[in-house]
């Protein structure tokens, strides 16, 4: 089956973080079912749409972040199909003239790759267009009925359509991660896969290596996990390769991934093209995007996550893993930047945030609740920097501060009150080392006979005896001095 290659294209629907819907003033805030509706988003006769300018601005910002050309003139079209979650019998979208076109994401750079990949270089983005979301269908198998919540009807989306440039499941997953991260960092989407604010459809086909035309494709619908996306692509690619190897054809169809069965399941077969009977939306004029908006949104794009990762990595002396972790959420990246701006050493701050603080962060969309505010973390790290407390004591102090947030004493005050300060007195440290040597004569003799690794055991014993408070470099020096007498 190595004679075949997989060809993958991706369509992403990202809900824009506007306060109101795309064509009406209904709120987009979460609320009980069917409480955020009006005649416009319910598709009642005579209701007319009024375009949300904030959604247009966010779509422009997304296009610029993804290296697209912004069309200063675009238009809306009606996409006709019939389903219970589409009250008007059509969706208002952009078909003929989208708001942005011809973008790209360079996966090698975006993912910071240092290894070979099936897809090297840019993945082309064909288009980005604005459209309204459908309502949410809720299928209740226990009572054998389906319900529709129209709160989501009319919510603003952008659809981002890639060219069929991807060649592996891993690359498709990387592309989606990069896209989600970019939209989150520019503040237009919260990246929530579970509630459907970032969802994707993946088109998979297989063709002989060297063939330029595309094979019959399978569309994998509404997969809410990057891991499941990769698995669904692997399964579908294998099925198509096996069919072609047997001399069979591949039926163009739509499938979904069933995680319990670990299989792709047929939803419906379809012909070569679906007839949505597109025509220009008569209730909306052409959309004109002024140059002033484009320039304003270009400035709002700011630093993209992969650029930020490169800057962090340089500040951390090349630590790519920590830099990657710090950009996993825009709020975490902002927190790290504020800590550095307040004077913390970048590498020490990054290590503490990644290994300790990050575990206690509670995310809510693009915002986050941190277990410790930036000034208090900086004050804590300063104690380590000045050798007032050890790194181990800093972790214990952090947990104390987090568990009792009502205690507003400074870290230095808590250290003084609890007697956690590092022991820096040469005489006290030498006395502790001498006692450890007396209590461990066998290990001391082994060290004197040349087993240098024993020193680590003796250092650990001294640190345990001093509750981790002895200055480690002075412990090492004192032990060597005493053992060489």
pLDDT in tens, 46-62: 999 999 999 999 999 99
294 inside domain: no
Using DSSP, state whether 432 is helix, strand or coil.
Answer: helix
What stretch of H or E contains 384? helix 374-385
Same domain? 114 vs 252: yes
pLDDT on residue 273:
59
CA angle 46, 52, 54 (to 5 degrees): 175
pLDDT on residue 424:
79
Same domain? 413 vs 431: no
Q: Which of 379, 308, 368, 369 lies closest to 343, judged by CA?
A: 379
Residue 130 structure tokens: 């604005």
CA separation, residue 232 to residues 117, 222, 223, 275 (Å): 19, 11, 9, 27
Domain count, the chain: 3
Provide mean pLDDT across the span 293-310: 95
Environment class of 133 (CB within 10 Å of its CB; exposed 0-12, middle 13-18, buried 19+): buried
Provide mean pLDDT across the span 297-322: 93
Q: Residue 124: beta bridge partners?
A: 104
* Whether pLDDT at 330 is above 60: yes
The residues, any chain, with a CB within 8 Å of residue 136's CB and separated by 6 or more, are 85, 148, 149, 151, 152, 196
The domain boundary, picked from 374, 402, 418, lies at 418
What stretch of H or E contains 463? helix 454-465
Residue with tokens 């069933």: 258
Q: How confident is the model at residue 136 (pLDDT cuts 50, 70, 90)?
A: very high
The 10 Å CB-count burial string (b at 16+, else e) for 412-447 is bebbeeeebbbbeeeeebbebbeebbeebeebbeeb
Mean pLDDT of the chain: 91
pLDDT in tens, 401-453: 999 887 889 999 998 888 878 887 889 999 999 999 999 999 999 998 888 88
229 inside domain: yes
pLDDT in tens, 17-76: 999 999 999 999 999 999 999 999 999 999 999 999 999 999 999 999 999 999 999 999
Q: Which domain holds residue 31?
A: 4-288
Same domain? 86 vs 111: yes
pLDDT on residue 334:
97
**What φ, ψ does residue 28 adopt, rounded to 5°?**
-100, 5
The residues, any chain, with a CB within 8 Å of residue 377's CB and separated by 6 or more, are 339, 344, 349, 352, 353, 357, 398
Same domain? 252 vs 366: no
293 inside domain: no
Same domain? 108 vs 235: yes
How do beta strands 253-258 and 136-140 pair? unpaired
Same domain? 16 vs 111: yes
pLDDT on residue 182:
96
pLDDT in tens, 89-109: 999 999 999 999 999 999 988
Instruction: Check if the beta carbon of residue 99 is closer than 8 Å to that of residue 288.
Output: no
297 inside domain: no
* Whether pLDDT at 115 is above 80: no
> With the C-alpha atoms ordered 49, 51, 52, 55, is the resulting torsion angle positive or negative?
positive
Flag the least confident range among 42-51, 151-160, 333-342, 472-481.
Answer: 472-481
User: How many angstroms separate the CA atoms of 5 and 369, rounded?
Assistant: 45
């Amino acid at each position: 089956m190595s004679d075949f290659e997989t060809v993958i294209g991706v369509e992403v629907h990202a809900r824009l973080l506007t306060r109101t819907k795309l064509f009406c003033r209904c709120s987009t805030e979460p609320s009980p079912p069917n409480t955020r509706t009006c005649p416009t988003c319910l598709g009642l006769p005579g209701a007319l749409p009024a375009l949300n300018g904030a959604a247009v601005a966010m779509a422009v910002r997304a296009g610029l972040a993804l290296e697209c050309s912004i069309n200063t003139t675009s238009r809306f079209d009606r996409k006709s199909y019939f389903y219970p979650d589409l009250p008007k019998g059509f969706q208002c979208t952009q078909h003929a003239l989208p708001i942005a076109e011809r973008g790209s994401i360079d996966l090698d750079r975006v993912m910071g790759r240092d290894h070979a990949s099936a897809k090297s270089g840019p993945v082309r983005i064909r288009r980005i267009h604005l459209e309204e979301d459908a309502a949410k269908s809720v299928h209740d198998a226990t009572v054998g009925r389906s319900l529709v919540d129209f709160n989501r009807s009319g919510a603003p989306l952008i659809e981002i359509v890639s060219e069929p440039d991807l060649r592996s499941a891993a690359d498709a997953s990387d592309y989606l991660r990069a896209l989600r991260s970019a939209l989150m960092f520019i503040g237009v989407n919260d990246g929530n896969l579970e509630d459907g604010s970032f969802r994707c459809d993946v088109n998979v086909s297989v063709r002989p290596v060297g063939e330029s035309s595309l094979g019959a494709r399978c569309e994998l619908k509404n997969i809410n996990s990057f891991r499941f996306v990769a698995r669904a692509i692997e399964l579908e690619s294998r099925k198509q390769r096996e069919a072609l190897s047997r001399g069979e054809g591949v039926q163009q169809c739509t499938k979904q991934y069933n995680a319990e069965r670990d299989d792709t399941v047929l939803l419906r077969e379809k012909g070569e093209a679906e007839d949505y009977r597109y025509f220009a939306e008569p209730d909306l004029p052409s959309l004109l995007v002024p140059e002033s908006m484009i320039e304003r949104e270009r400035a709002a794009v700011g630093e993209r996550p992969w650029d930020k990762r490169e800057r962090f990595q340089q500040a951390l002396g090349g630590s790519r893993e920590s830099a990657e972790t710090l950009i996993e959420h825009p709020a975490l990246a902002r927190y790290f930047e504020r800590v550095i701006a307040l004077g913390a050493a970048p590498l020490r701050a990054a290590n503490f945030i990644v290994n300790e603080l990050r575990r206690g962060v509670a995310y809510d969309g693009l915002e986050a609740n941190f277990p410790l505010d930036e000034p208090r973390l900086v004050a804590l790290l300063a104690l380590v920097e000045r050798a007032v407390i050890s790194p181990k004591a800093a972790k214990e102090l952090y947990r104390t501060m987090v568990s009792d947030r009502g205690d507003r004493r400074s870290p230095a005050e808590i250290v003084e009150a609890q007697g956690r300060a590092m022991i820096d007195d040469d005489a006290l440290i030498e006395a502790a080392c001498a006692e450890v040597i007396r209590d461990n004569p066998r290990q001391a003799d082994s060290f004197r006979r040349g087993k240098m690794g024993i020193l680590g055991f003796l250092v650990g014993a001294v640190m345990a005896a001093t509750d981790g408070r002895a200055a480690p470099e002075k412990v090492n020096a004192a032990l060597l001095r005493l053992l060489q007498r």
